[in-house]
Every structure is written in C-alpha cells, then in structure tokens.
Amino acid sequence: MSSSIKALIFDVYGTLLDVHSVIEKCEELYPEKGKQISQTWRQKQIEYSFLRQLMGNYTPFSHVTADALRYAVHEHGYELLHNQEQTLMNAYLHLQHYDEVEAVLKEFTNCKRAVFSNGSHDMLDPLIKNAGLTSLFDKIISVDDVKQYKPTPASYLHALNVLGVERHEVLFMSSNGWDISGAKSFGFRTAWINRLHKPTEQLQVPPDAIYSDLRGILEWK
Amino acid sequence: MSSSIKALIFDVYGTLLDVHSVIEKCEELYPEKGKQISQTWRQKQIEYSFLRQLMGNYTPFSHVTADALRYAVHEHGYELLHNQEQTLMNAYLHLQHYDEVEAVLKEFTNCKRAVFSNGSHDMLDPLIKNAGLTSLFDKIISVDDVKQYKPTPASYLHALNVLGVERHEVLFMSSNGWDISGAKSFGFRTAWINRLHKPTEQLQVPPDAIYSDLRGILEWK
C-alpha cells in the first residue's frame, strides 16, 4: 500500500450506505411528502448531534435520530404515531450500500478496515449486518463509546486508539464535507467521497483527495 | 417587572434584525439566484460556527461569515470576486430591524437590556449603530470575548458574567430554536421569537414562551 497507509476508516451514513433509501418508506406513510421529510430528517439528525455536543448534553444517535424524525414530521403538519416511528426507525437499520462498496473493500486486504460512525451500536451493528458488510471490516467503531460526536478531535482519537495506528497512517473516507474537515483537522489523510458534487467546505482544511465514489481510493492501493 | 426578571438578553441576527434583507444586494450581484444564495449563506454561517467550535478551531464570526458566503456563491457556480465580497459583507453591517423592536424595548426601562451574539465586535458594533439601536441597550456582548460560540454553556455564562445577574433572573430572546435550546439548557428563562412559525426543536428543553414577534414579551413586563 502506497504512502504508508495502515488503516482505512469509513464513515457509514451517506458514505457506505445510502441514507435516502428510506424515502420510499416515508412516501408510503406520508404520500407526496416522503422526499422532503426524509431530507429534513437527515438534516436535523446531523444538526441535533452537533447541538447536543455543543450544549454538553450528549444523547445516543438512536435517540437523536428519533427526535429528528419527530421534528421532520411536525414540520409537514403530521404527528408521529408510535407505529410510524417504529417503522421508520426500522428502515434506518436496512439501508442499501452503494454499488461499488464490496468490490473496492476487497482490494484492501493488506490493511485494517473499519467503519466509524456517529451511530450508536444499537443502530450501527444491525445496519452493517443487514447490509451484508460485516466480513469486510475488522472493527465497527461508534462515537458512543466515548460520548463524543464527530467532528470533535476526541471522537477521531477514539477511532485511532481502537485501531492502534498513527494519525498519518490513516486514510479516512466520508461523503460529508464537515466530517472530512474534522478528520483532516485532527491529522488523518482524507478522501472526500463527494457523491453529490458539492463545493468544497470553506473551513481551511481541504481534503487530500476528492472522488465521486469509493472507486477513487483504489489509487491509494 | 414580574417573575424577578432583572435582565433581557436579545440575540441579534434574525431576532432584532432581518438577515434576509441582504437578498436584494445578492440579487443585484447574482440575478435570479439572490434568494437562494442568501439562504445558503445564512445556513452555512450557522453551520460553520458550530463546526469550528466542535473541531476546536475557533475563528471570529466575520471570518466565518465570509467563508460561508464563498461557499454559497460556489454552490451556484460563481467565483467570489474581492469587490463582491466587500459589497456583501458590507450589506451584513446594514440590516433592517424588525418593526416592533424600538417600541417593545422602550417598555423595559426597569431592567438591564443587552444584545448577545455570535457576531464579533467588528460586525456587531457597527450593525447596532447603523440600525439606530445603540441607545436602547446597556451592553453589546459578543461571544468573541471568550471564543465560545453559542450554544455552548460557556458562551451564555459569559453574557451572565458581563451583566452580573443570576441565570434565573434572565429572560433570553432568540428567533433561532437552537439558541433557545442552548439558553434554556444553561438555565435562562427563554422566549422563542418564532417569526417563521417553525416546529419546536426536539431537544428536550422547550422554551418558557413562544411568540410570533417581540411584542409577546410585553407580558413579562
């Protein structure tokens, strides 16, 4: 492996797995509003994880995700019924992985491979299993072990400690620009999987590489 | 004044002053895209303040605001030229205050009145002056004095220390749901100025009162 990379760390939601594959389930429950509700749900899920960290009021991601769903549903004039919450939270455990994930991961057998997510283990472990990705990873790492959401330095430090490598030996992948900024600021090498062709975040920590999907990282092999 | 309130603290952007009054200037520079650019600008401005705090990489709000503008312009396919940046940053120093601000403030002469903002003094001081609001406030307080963006507890503590009152003696006003959540979590009494009729944030710290504009706080008089 080039460049002394000893570990690959992958974000999960939006990076390995398509978070908008819950749109169909949302549309079943809320006809015509499914797409908007699932987008607000995702946006508020991220915002609430930031806010709870800033307020010093950490709560696991499963709780944050349910709170974000309730907000998204309220915004469109609905109440969230218990069975609807169960149906939609369950949909978050069954996300589709992006097409190229398995083939790319199988090319990197000579280094540690981990997922690292804001998701708590009650969401993350069944999700990776249901997506059929368990055998491709050495570790499933959650910020919940240290109660520090990304992009705090303490969150990335936890992933580093679990893997037992040095910062500069890590190549970190995320589709979220803010996650890439946090990881780069911490000292990882970073590949931004820019699936949605967004502009680079203006946070003065640009990524080392930008790819439109995970196949781009094969050049680090 | 009822309820032993000794100080009123007001957020600035979106609460006293209308941040979307820069839309016209944006539309002059970017025909047809002005509204979208100004909305993205505001959204990224807030997000970048959160991210820099979480990353441990504080930068003053004037810098964050220029960064957010650059992102917003890039998203719509433009480059940000130096004179355009100057024009638009200057527009942020000349925001319109909401109609009811002066009349409401003049009803509260028996307690301390302060503005408290994520804005750095280079933005905040000329803004309040240009809006003609200087004489209505005892203090203009910026998080920049302690390098802690709202909604961290340390930011609200700074405002409290400047005013020399106790937490429960403060009535805090903001149009931003996340700001109200942070202030309530810290221990202020809170009135959410919900100008856009948004749903309540699902962060388990609901506001003490919700009003559609500042006239609502007259019942605390």
What does the pLDDT read at residue B3? 62
Q: What is the nearest CA distance from B142 to chain A, expressed in angstroms?
A: 17
pLDDT tens readout for residues B139-183: 999 999 999 999 999 999 999 999 999 999 999 999 999 999 999
Is the pLDDT reported for residue A84 higher than 60? yes
CA distances from B27 to B34, B35, B85 (A): 4, 7, 14
Q: Which residue in this structure is represented by tokens 């964050």? A: B64
Q: What is the nearest CA distance from A11 to chain B, expressed in angstroms?
A: 17
Q: Is there a contact between B71 and A178 if contact means CB atoms under 8 Å apart?
A: no
Is the pLDDT reported for residue B191 higher than 60? yes
Is the pLDDT reported for residue A88 higher than 80? yes
Q: Which of B200, B202, B204, B205 to mutate to test the interface with A (most CBs of A within 10 A)?
A: B202
CA closest to B57 among chain A residues: A185
CA closest to A45 among chain B residues: B202
Q: For the residues B97-109, what does the mean pLDDT come to?
A: 96
| CATH code, B31 | 1.10.150.240
Q: Which residues does chain B have within 8 Å of residue A178's beta carbon, measured at their own beta carbons?
A: 47, 51
Q: For the residues A111-115, what does the mean pLDDT come to?
A: 97
The reply to whether B87 and B122 lie within a common domain is no
Q: Measured between CB atoms, does B221 come within 8 Å of chain A? A: no
The reply to whether B12 and B25 lie within a common domain is no
The reply to whether B151 and B214 lie within a common domain is yes
What value does the mean pLDDT of chain B take?
95
CA closest to A66 among chain B residues: B202
Q: Is there a contact between A54 and B182 if contact means CB atoms under 8 Å apart?
A: yes
CA distances from A151 to A183, B70, B178 (A): 7, 22, 18
The reply to whether A157 and A210 lie within a common domain is yes
What is the rounded distance in angstroms from the CA atom of residue A186 to the CA atom of residue B83? 34
Q: Is there a contact between A202 and B48 if contact means CB atoms under 8 Å apart?
A: yes
- Domain tally, chain A: 2
Query: Domain end: B47, B73, B91, which one?
Result: B91
The reply to whether A86 and A105 lie within a common domain is no
The reply to whether A54 and A141 lie within a common domain is no
Q: Measured between CB atoms, does B106 come within 8 Å of chain A? A: no
The reply to whether A113 and A183 lie within a common domain is yes
pLDDT band at A87 (very low <50, low <70, confident <90, very high): very high
- Please give the ipTM for the structure prediction: 0.96
pLDDT tens readout for residues B15-54: 999 987 788 889 999 988 998 998 899 999 999 999 999 9
What does the pLDDT read at residue A3? 61
Q: By residue range, what is the domain housing residue A71?
A: 19-91
What does the pLDDT read at residue A2? 54
**Is A11 noted as a catalytic residue in this protein?**
yes
Query: Domain end: B45, B75, B91, which one?
Result: B91
What does the pLDDT read at residue B24? 85
Is the pLDDT reported for residue B2 higher than 70? no
What does the pLDDT read at residue A153? 98
Q: Which residues does chain B have within 8 Å of residue A149's beta carbon, measured at their own beta carbons?
A: 54
Q: Is there a contact between B153 and A55 if contact means CB atoms under 8 Å apart?
A: yes
